[in-house]
Every structure is written in structure tokens, then in C-alpha cells.
Amino acid sequence: MIDRIKEHEVKKGETLWDIARKHDIDIDTLIGANDINNMNRIRPGDLLKILPVKGMLYKILYLFSNL
């Protein structure tokens, strides 16, 4: 599934709503995948991850122990 994640370069005048609609995802997925704290702080040139499904992106670190 990770290989299906796309990137979107923010263009001048675009909003998160515009980007989410363009990629047919909801804005919560866009915000969560990109760790966005302030919707008004995206800038032209920013690269945003576009997930192929609704939800969050989690990176799981697996550590093996001989305990």
C-alpha cells in the first residue's frame, strides 16, 4: 500500500479543501497524513502525501528481542 502513496506539490492559491477534492480524499485524511497543525500554513512548493485510502498513515517500528 505504501507504494501507492502519491505526492502533491502545493500551487499558489490552493487550499487543503481544493487538494483533497482533486485527489478524491477527505480533508481529515490529508491533514493526518501530513501532520498539519494549521490548515492556513501550507505554502506553494510544499509537498503533501496523498494516501490511496481514507485514514491515517502509521509507521511501525518492529524491534526483536531475545527475552
Predicted confidence at residue 39, as pLDDT, reads 85
Residue 66's pLDDT band (boundaries 50, 70, 90)? low
Class of domain 2-50: alpha beta
Long-range contacts of 32-38 (CB under 8 A, 24+ apart): 32/56, 32/57, 33/57
The tens digit of pLDDT for each residue in 16-48 reads: 999 999 999 999 999 988 989 998 889 999 999
Other Cβ atoms within 10 Å of 15 Cβ, number: 13
Q: Using alpha carbons, list the distances in angstroms from residue 25 to 22, 37, 44, 45, 49.
A: 8, 18, 20, 20, 11
Q: What are phi and psi of 12, to 5 degrees?
A: -55, 130
Whole-model pTM?
0.73
